[in-house]
């Protein structure tokens, strides 16, 4: 199979880049607000209090897997009778949201007993369960904005909601509300977001629940739901093991550590998915075009993922001290492990959007099944063997590496992208990032001997690492990057860009 020229029917690279830019700008602002909130609270609250909220968020995270049954993704994909489909999606989501809230309210005392929560833990869960209702009210509006590529409007809503959540949380924390400041801020943020989405897209659903549309939504969404359930399970099983084996305090350190790779690594894939899935979906009639853009996206994602992840792992101690204070020093080993987990978990992220775009979300179902089967026994065995909470994320890393291999196999079989092509597009960033290791380690030892403050050490390490990475990358892949930039500036793709990205595109390669 050969990769055809994407053609005029596909969205332009410039338009896609603009969409990515809006979503990523929103992400940066939103996550900086969240990160700033956590950084402030980390200096007000004690680790034990963060252990309580981390446990509550862990439970909410598990339940939230079922908050939409994959319906928003299905709404983006399906084109038949769009109004009836959207209205059916809205009422299905609302029913699911109320059901989840009711279930969590009813089971909160039992869950609190299971996790040995404090006396107020039941009330915390019940209040946080309102999130599912507010999320359901805005879910379809959010999906419609995404389908129509109206990312500026959606981005504005996300920014307003993030600042509202941050302001409410910090004010309540300074007023002495402790853990409840995070709880109320969490619920208020979801309410503000849903109100904003209705303003951004003044679409009023009629009371219209069509059986045909509902069946189509659920038929497509079931794969997204299953992937979400399995992914949520495997993403959090290490936290569950830490909680059950070692208690809430190590979980608090885990929670704090996870905030840094979340803002710097995980959200890169999530941001791109918001733009790329609907963009790829416009090309669903041409698997070759989808494959072309999947490879291109993977290459550019690798430019960011590798240096950020390796950089975090090398500067974990200074990052934790600067961001949250020295009392959170035990979180640094978790940060090192989690940065590597998120790197390998995200490196083939774009292939998942490719599978969904050509109507094959079942491939993601298989990947999620493999990981969900592997993760629990591997993590429990690792923790039991080493008797250390840090074994949990490293055991998770082992399962992620296995799943990446299976995902590469599926990518070749379904999208026709060869292993050599994937290796070729990620190797420049990987090699350039590995070159950072000795330079940053040497700089760290020298700077530590000078007895400089942590912010100065961190800043200088980042500079050394960035210069090393950019220097090596420019030698390995500089010409390719410059050609792509020049092509984008001219507003058209080079005639040979396909062959450059997928060298000697033949049935043997793809």
User: Over the stretch 313-328, which tens digit does the pLDDT of each residue have?
Assistant: 999 999 998 888 888 8
* Of residues 510, 268, 273, 307, the one with CA closest to residue 426: 307
In the chain, what's the furthest Cα-to-Cα distance?
70
| Distance, CA of 46 to CA of 210 (rounded, Å) | 51
Q: Give the whole-angstrom CA distance, residue 374 versus residue 399.
A: 6
Q: Does residue 494 belong to any structural domain of this protein?
A: yes
Helix, coil or strand: residue 283: coil
Structural domain total, the chain: 1
Q: Which pLDDT belongs to residue 250?
A: 87
Indicate whether 291 belongs to any domain.
Answer: yes
Quote the domain boundaries for residue 201. Answer: 13-501
- Domain presence at residue 136: yes
Whether residue 450 is contained in a domain is answered as: yes
Inside any domain, residue 173: yes
Distance CA(226)–CA(404), nearest Å, equals 18
Which DSSP symbol is given to 329? G
For residue 328, what is the DSSP state? G
* Tokens standing for residue 22: 């809006």
Q: How confident is the model at residue 310 (pLDDT cuts 50, 70, 90)?
A: very high
In a domain, 370, yes or no: yes
Using CA of residue 423, residue 429, residue 430, residue 435, what is the dihedral sign? positive
Phi-psi region of 359 (alpha: psi -120 to 50; beta: other; left: phi over 0): left
| Assigned domain for 278 exists | yes
* CA–CA distance, 282 with 276 (Å, rounded to integer): 10
- The yes-or-no verdict on residue 152 having pLDDT over 50 is yes
Q: Are 190 and 131 in contact (CB under 8 A)?
A: yes
Q: List the structure tokens of 31.
A: 């996550």
Residue 307 has pLDDT above 90, yes or no: yes
pLDDT for 224: 66
Per the CB < 8 A criterion, the answer to whether 434 and 310 are in contact is yes
Residue 506 in tokens: 């033949």
Which pair of structure tokens corresponds to residue 416?
């026709």
Residue 392: count of CB within 10 angstroms of its CB: 28
Q: How many residues does the chain have?
A: 510
Give the tokens for residue 80. Answer: 């038949």
What does 21-73 look like in DSSP terms, one character per residue? HHHHHHHHHHHHHHHHHHHHHHHHS-HHHHHHHHHHHHHHHHHHTTSSTTHHH
398 is a domain residue: yes
pLDDT confidence of residue 490: 59
pTM of structure: 0.69
First to last CA, the chain: 6
CA 257 to chain centre: 15
Q: Which range has the worst mean pLDDT, 37-46, 103-112, 387-396?
A: 37-46
- More confident site: 353 or 384: 384
CB-facing half-sphere around the CA of 272: CA atoms within 13 A: 24
Q: How far is CA 205 from CA 84, 209, 220, 264, in A?
A: 9, 10, 22, 37
Per the listing, tokens 């999906």 go with: 143
User: Is residue 213 very low, low, confident or very high in pLDDT (cuts 50, 70, 90)?
Assistant: confident
Residue 498: pLDDT band with limits 50, 70, 90: very low
Rounded Cα distance, 226 and 137, in Å: 22
Query: In this predicted structure, what is the pLDDT of residue 436?
Result: 93
């Amino acid at each position: 199979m050969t990769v055809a020229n994407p053609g005029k029917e596909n969205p332009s690279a410039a338009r896609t880049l603009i969409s990515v830019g809006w979503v990523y700008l929103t992400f940066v602002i939103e996550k900086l607000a969240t990160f700033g909130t956590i950084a402030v609270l980390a200096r007000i609250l004690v680790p034990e209090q963060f252990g309580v909220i981390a446990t509550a968020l862990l439970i909410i995270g598990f339940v939230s897997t079922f908050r939409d049954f994959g319906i928003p993704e299905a709404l983006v994909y399906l084109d038949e009778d769009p109004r009836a489909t959207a209205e059916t999606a809205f009422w299905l989501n609302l029913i699911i949201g109320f059901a989840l809230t009711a279930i969590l309210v009813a089971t909160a005392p039992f869950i609190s007993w299971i996790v040995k929560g404090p006396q107020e833990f039941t009330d915390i869960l019940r209040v946080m369960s309102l999130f599912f209702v507010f999320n359901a009210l805005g879910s379809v509006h959010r999906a419609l904005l995404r389908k129509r590529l109206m990312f500026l409007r959606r981005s504005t809503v996300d920014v307003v909601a993030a600042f509202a959540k941050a302001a409410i949380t910090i004010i309540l924390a300074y007023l002495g509300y402790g853990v409840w400041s995070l709880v109320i801020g969490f619920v208020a943020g979801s309410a503000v977001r849903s109100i904003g989405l209705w303003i951004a897209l003044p679409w009023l659903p009629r009371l219209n629940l069509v059986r045909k549309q509902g069946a189509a939504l659920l038929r497509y969404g079931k794969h997204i739901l299953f992937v979400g359930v399995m992914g949520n399970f495997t993403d959090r099983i290490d936290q569950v093991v830490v909680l059950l084996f070692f208690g809430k305090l190590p979980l608090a350190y885990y929670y704090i550590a996870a905030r840094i790779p979340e803002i710097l690594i995980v959200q890169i894939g999530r941001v791109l998915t918001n733009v790329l899935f609907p963009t790829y979906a416009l090309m669903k009639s041409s698997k070759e075009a989808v494959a072309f853009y999947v490879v291109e996206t993977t290459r550019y994602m690798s430019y960011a993922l590798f240096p950020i992840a390796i950089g975090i792992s090398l500067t974990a101690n200074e990052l934790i001290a600067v961001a949250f204070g020295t009392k959170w020093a035990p979180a640094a080993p978790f940060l090192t492990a989690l940065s590597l987990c998120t790197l390998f978990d995200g490196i083939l992220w774009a292939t998942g959007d490719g599978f969904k775009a050509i109507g094959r979300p079942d491939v993601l179902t298989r990947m999620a099944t493999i990981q969900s089967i592997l993760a629990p026994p591997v993590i429990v065995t690792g923790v039991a063997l080493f008797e250390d909470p840090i074994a949990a994320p490293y055991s998770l890393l082992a399962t992620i590496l296995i799943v990446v291999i299976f995902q590469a196999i599926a990518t070749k079989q379904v999208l026709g992208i060869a292993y050599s092509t994937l290796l070729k597009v990620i190797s420049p960033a990987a090699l350039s990032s590995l070159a950072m290791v000795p330079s940053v380690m040497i700089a760290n030892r020298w700077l530590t001997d000078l007895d400089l403050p942590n912010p100065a050490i961190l800043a200088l390490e980042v500079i050394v690492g960035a210069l090393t990475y950019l220097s090596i990358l420019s030698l390995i892949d500089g010409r390719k990057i410059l050609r792509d930039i020049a092509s984008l500036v001219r507003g058209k793709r080079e005639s040979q860009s396909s062959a450059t990205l997928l060298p000697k595109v033949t049935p043997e390669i793809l």
